[in-house]
Amino acid sequence: MAEILTFLPGTMCDERIWRPVRQRLEPRFSTDYVAIESEATRAGMLGLIHSAASTGDPLHLVAFSMGGYLALEYALDNPGRVASLITVASSAFGLTEEEAAERVRALDLLAKHDYRGIPPARVNQFVHPSHQQDPAVVDVIRAMDRDLGKPVLMAQLKETSTRTSLAPRLSELDIPAMLIGADSDPLVPWTSIDLMSASIPGAKAIKAKNAGHMIPLEQPDWLAARIAEFHHSS
C-alpha cells in the first residue's frame, strides 16, 4: 500500500492550500492534514506534528512555506519520526534583518488597527502574473486570509519572527528529501532552494515554472505529479 502523505500549511493557510493537490493524488495515495493554523505558538505547532508522528509509522511530510520550516525543524530534532520530506516554497534560513524589521512593523500596525484583509497588491506579490486573475488561486488566498483573520496572522508573525537558520544542520538530514521552488517566488528565491538542496545528502531540487510563492494553488497538476514520482522512486 502507498504511503500516507501528511500535509502541512503555510502562514495564513489552512487545508484549502493543499486541497487541489490532494484531490489529484487520491486515491493513489492516502493523505492526512495537520492543522498547525489552530495553534498560536510554535511549540504548539510542533506539538501537533509530534502527535501525528506518534500515532503510527514515521511521517511522510509534504509541507508548504512556514510549514516546511517547521517540518525540517521537527525532522532534525526527531530522527526516526519522519520517513521522508517534501518542502514547497520553503526556506530553512533565518529571517534577514529587513524581513524581521518588516514583521515588527506589521505586528505594531495590527496591534493598533483593524485588519481588513490581505490587499490585492499583496496577493499579486505571492502569485505569478499568469495566475493573478485566476479565481482558483486568488479567491482561495483571500478566503483563507479572511477566515483565519487577525488573531492567527498576529500569532504566526510573532512566532516565526525569531526563527533561527537551520542551514548549518541540513547535512544531518538522513531521509529522502525533495525541495520544490518556483521561477518567480519573491519570498523564497531559487538560489535558496539550490543552497538547501546542496546541503542535504541526496536531496532533489525541482523548479516550478510560471509560479510564484503559492505553488500548490498555481500548479496543482504539476506538483501532484512531482510528489507521486518522488514517492514511487524513493
What is the sign, positive or negative, of the torsion defined by CA atoms of 67, 23, 200, 210? negative
Q: Which three cell numbers stand for residue 35?
A: 492543522
- Domain boundaries 4-95+158-233, corresponding CATH code: 3.40.50.1820
Torsion of CA 165, 180, 146, 126, to 10 degrees: 90
Cβ–Cβ contacts within 10 Å for residue 63, how many?
A: 28
Rounded Cα gap, residues 213 and 123, in angstroms? 10
Q: Is 6 helix (H, G, I), strand (E, B) or coil?
A: strand
Grid-cell match 514517492, residue found:
231
Residues belonging to the chain: 234
pLDDT of residue 36: 97
User: Which residues, in sequence order, are bridge partners of residue 85?
Assistant: 61, 177
Calpha distance 41→50 (Å, rounded) = 14
Q: At what angle do helices 66-77 and 135-160 cross, to 10 degrees?
A: 50
pLDDT at 233: 67
Q: What is the pLDDT along the chain (234 residues), one digit of tens a residue?
A: 468 999 999 999 999 999 999 999 998 899 999 999 999 999 999 999 999 999 889 999 999 999 999 999 999 999 999 999 999 999 999 877 788 888 888 889 899 998 989 999 999 999 999 999 999 999 999 999 999 999 999 999 988 877 889 999 999 999 999 999 999 999 999 999 999 999 999 999 999 999 999 999 999 999 999 999 999 865
Please report the pLDDT score of residue 109 as a whole number: 87
In one-letter notation, the amino acid at residue 39 is E
Q: How far is residue 36's CA from residue 9's CA, in Å, rounded to a whole number? A: 7
Write out the three cell numbers for 79: 530522527
Q: Record the pTM.
A: 0.95
